Chain A
Amino acid sequence: MYLQFISFWGGFWEALVNSRELFFEASQLTLALTAVSIFIAIFVGLFFALLKISNIKPLEWVANAYIYIVRGTPLIVQIFVFYYGLTNVWMISGFWSVSLGLAFHNGAYIAEIFRGSIQSIGKGQTEAGRSLGMSQALTMRRIILPQAFRRALPPLGNQFIIGLKDSSLAAFIGVSEIFAVATTQGANTFDYMTWLLVSAVYYLILVFLLTLVVSLIEKKMAVSGDE
């Protein structure tokens, strides 16, 4: 038992060290998937959040339908629909179809995060802006959104982490990100356990770095307290 344990960990460390170049490359792909999909998702989310609070019924329905569909279907189904759907009409790589699928998915959750944070900003802020002659759009852009964005950061950070980990689903359509490399290595060596743990180490490091970045942004934006 003890010897087994020792030999397993020995093998694990060896695998971790020797495979570093392979996993560095895969990590870059994971990071790229995450960054691209989150970047797009922020705009998608903001767009649907604004539709939801527009007070224009048809626009609200569109936003609600979008959120309903995303929340009601598994992410893996969405990614496959994007992959097969998009590659049929449009020459698009696996990387981009997963990125867009993830952006579509995360956008719905981010829309709800933004909607909540926008609605949490007091009505007095809107009235102050409007009473100065600012238009509704200008008040939203200059007064409400900067405050709402700051309030949205903690839940957004959470969503970013989920997005990073969900990017592992790209493995199923042949994008060689961390999880894909780990399963390939596992299949080649008949030693899945070791390689899955190696991939877990990389995910832990990436999530740690992402958390760090989000908390830095939070600190930077917290210079002014709430009233």
Chain B
Amino acid sequence: MAKQMIEVNKLNKYFGDNHVLKDIDFHVAESEVVVLIGASGSGKSTMLRCLNFLEMKNSGEIFIKGNEVNPKKDNVNEVRQKVGMVFQHFNLFPHKTVLGNVMEAPTQVKGLSKSQAKKEGKELLEKVGLAEKANDYPSRLSGGQKQRVAIARALAMKPEIMLFDEPTSALDPELVGEVLQTMKDLAKEGMTMVVVTHEMGFAREVADRVVYMHEGRIVETGAPKDIFENPKEERTQAFLSSIL
């Protein structure tokens, strides 16, 4: 069995009185691509954000690469270097150029030299097809380009796990494809990925496993083929028939 990159046991999360994650058990193996689907408010984004501690769990255990992470004791900043994140609204740094965005964390956090960070940054921009935009500011890019820069920025820290929080939901329809393509390339290279998305085509094509969440619980999980063609749970069937 492949090495477990993420393991979550009995995770619970509350926002005030609102119980948003209920006894979540979840794991992701090395190089696995797991897609989280479910209606809005089902807890999938919260769950993803718990994995790099942007949200703090209320109870349960989270293991990253086999080590339990306790955000009160452990250095979350170090854990986060291994876990890249891509946001729905890109969150690029508007006061920095495209290359500046990509170079920021390697130089500031890892202490990489400017020249080295620049070299690596340019390679990454090449990879996401935006080398010629290196010196532009984010405000001059389209949504799809912004999101690809955001992916390059996360990759610059050489993470071993990548989290995607609805990466295409804020994009114009014609720009979705370029971002999904970048993600597919990443999956092919063997990146471990957890993706929250409404793009069922992507889930079907790229995911190793699909997880359906409903009201804070994992209702069903399985290979995309099984989930999409032969869902066992009634709620999964209802959800899929409402969106497909």
Number of A-B contacts (CB under 8 A): 80
B90 within 8 Å of A (CB atoms): yes
Task: Check A131 against B95 for contact (C-beta < 8 Å).
Answer: no
Confirm or deny: A132 has a beta carbon within 8 angstroms of a beta carbon on chain B: yes
Across the interface, A130 reaches (CB within 8 A) one of B78, B80, B93, B96, namely: B80
Complex CA–CA separation, A150 to B150 (angstroms)? 23
Q: Does B37 interact with chain A (Cβ within 8 Å)?
A: no
In the assembled complex, the Cα of A225 lies from the Cα of B97 at a distance in Å of: 11
Q: Does B137 lie within 8 Å of A135, measured CB to CB? A: no
If the complex has contacts A124-B87, A223-B137, A224-B137, are A134 and B93 also in contact, measured as CB distance less than 8 A? Answer: no
Contacts A131-B52, A132-B109, A147-B95; is A142 near B77 (CB within 8 Å)? Answer: no
A131 touches B139 (CB 8 A): no
Decide: B93 and A138 in contact? CB cutoff 8 A: no
Inside 8 A of A150's CB, which chain B residues have their CB? 95
Q: Could you mark each residue 111-138 of chain A with 1 if its beta carbon is under 8 Å from any beta carbon of chain B, else 0?
A: 0000000000010110111111111001
Q: B56 at the A/B interface (Cβ < 8 Å)?
A: no
Nearest CB to that of B78 among chain A residues? A133
Measured in the bound complex, the distance between the Cα atoms of B81 and A119 in whole Å is 26
The answer to whether B138 and A227 have CB atoms under 8 Å apart is yes
Using CB atoms, name the residue of chain A closest to B146. A227
The answer to whether B92 touches A128, judged by C-beta atoms less than 8 angstroms apart, is yes
Kindly report which residue of chain B lies nearest to residue A150, judged by CB atoms: B95
Give the distance to chain A from B80, nearest Cβ to Cβ, in Å.
Answer: 4
Residue interface bits B63-84, CB-to-A below 8 A is 1, else 0: 0000000000000011011011
Alpha-carbon distance between A125 and B89 when the two chains are bound, in angstroms? 10
Residues of B within 8 A of A143 (CB): 93, 104
Residue of A nearest to B83 (CB): A131
| Residue contact B54 to A130, C-beta cutoff 8 Å | yes
* A104→B109 CA distance, assembly (Å): 35
Determine the chain A residues whose CB is within 8 A of the CB of B150 once the complex forms.
128
* B93 adjacent to A128 (CB under 8 Å): yes
Tell me, yes or no, whether B154 is within 8 Å of chain A by CB: yes
Q: How far is the CA of A177 from the CA of B137 in the complex (A)?
A: 45
Q: Is the interface of A mostly helix, strand, loop or mixed?
A: helix
Interface residues in A201-227 by Cβ distance below 8 A to B read: 223-227
Q: How far is the CB of A20 from chain B (nearest CB, A)?
A: 43
* Nearest-neighbor residue (CB-CB) of A133 within chain B: B81
Assembly CA distance A134 to B78 (angstroms): 9
In angstroms, how far is the closest chain A Cβ from the Cβ of B111?
Answer: 12
Contact check: which of A131, A223, A227 meets B90 at CB < 8 Å? A227
Q: Are A127 and B138 in touch, CB under 8 angstroms?
A: no
Q: List the interface of chain B (C-beta within 8 A of A).
A: 52, 54, 77-78, 80-81, 83-85, 87, 89-97, 104-105, 108-109, 137-140, 146, 150, 153-154, 157
A-B contact pairs, 11 of them (CB 8 A): A127-B54, A130-B54, A130-B80, A132-B80, A132-B154, A135-B77, A142-B104, A142-B108, A143-B93, A143-B104, A227-B146
